[in-house]
């Protein structure tokens, strides 16, 4: 039992060290993905996406907030919203209730799309802040928002892979197949 406890402790320390090291590599406009366990079934995972904004001053962003993301329930808004685009702190993502929470820089379209300039990214953030529309896992999720902010194009590889594996999901967005990276 003591050896198992020590092994778990070492694993937790390594995970925290990994998160700390990765956080230092982020630059303004990077997409950060968070692999998480599903609350309904810890054996299943999903990815959450956000944009790293660091300490760049942007209207509506408070000191210490270094992420822009589509999130779950938004507190303090009347009437309450289930989801919207907000500024937040990376450290809050580390406090996720998910049993699995692995983060990394995930600019996966950089090989086929040109990231926006800092000014373009800021403009897109201003456009979307508090105005992300109704959340939809297929057509309007956190990955769509993150790719739009970074590249000016809305894509979701998660949805793309789901659609490839299911003939029942609609495919109206598959217009530029050449943009999808090979995997």
Sign (positive or negative) of CA dihedral 130, 134, 135, 139: negative
Can you tell me the mean pLDDT for 80-86?
A: 75
93 Cβ contact list (under 8 Å, min separation 6):
34, 48, 50, 67, 101, 103
Can you tell me the mean pLDDT for 71-80?
A: 59
Query: What confidence tens digit (pLDDT) does each residue in 12-68 have?
Result: 454 544 444 444 589 999 999 988 877 777 777 888 899 999 999 999 999 999 999
118: pLDDT strictly greater than 80? yes
What pTM does this model have? 0.72
173: pLDDT strictly greater than 50? no
Task: Give helix then strand counts, H and E, for the chain.
Answer: 5, 5
6: pLDDT strictly greater than 90? no
Q: What are 88-94's contacts with CB under 8 Å, separation 24+?
A: 88/50, 89/64, 89/65, 90/23, 90/32, 90/52, 90/66, 93/34, 93/48, 93/50, 93/67, 94/19
9 Cβ contact list (under 8 Å, min separation 6):
none
Higher pLDDT, 39 or 175: 39
145: pLDDT strictly greater than 90? yes
Alpha carbon 113 to chain centroid, angstroms: 18
What is the set of domains in the chain, with CATH numbers? 26-162 (3.90.1720.10)
Can you tell me the mean pLDDT for 82-102?
A: 79
């Amino acid at each position: 039992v003591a050896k198992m406890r020590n092994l778990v402790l070492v694993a937790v320390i390594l995970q925290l060290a990994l998160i700390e090291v990765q956080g230092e590599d982020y630059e303004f406009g990077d997409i950060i993905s968070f692999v998480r366990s599903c609350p309904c079934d810890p054996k299943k995972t999903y990815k959450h996406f956000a944009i790293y904004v660091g300490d760049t001053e942007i209207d509506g962003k408070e000191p210490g907030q270094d992420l822009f993301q589509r999130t779950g329930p938004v507190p303090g808004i009347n009437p309450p919203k289930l989801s919207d685009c907000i500024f937040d702190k990376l450290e809050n993502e580390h406090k996720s209730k998910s049993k699995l929470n692995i983060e990394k820089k995930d600019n996966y379209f950089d090989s086929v799309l040109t990231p926006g300039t800092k000014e373009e990214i800021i403009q897109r953030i201003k456009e979307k802040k508090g105005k992300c529309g109704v959340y939809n896992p297929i057509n309007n999720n956190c990955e769509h928002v993150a790719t739009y902010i970074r590249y000016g194009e809305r894509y979701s590889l998660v949805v793309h892979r789901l659609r490839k594996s299911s003939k029942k999901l609609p495919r109206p967005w598959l217009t530029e197949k050449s943009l999808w990276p090979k995997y």
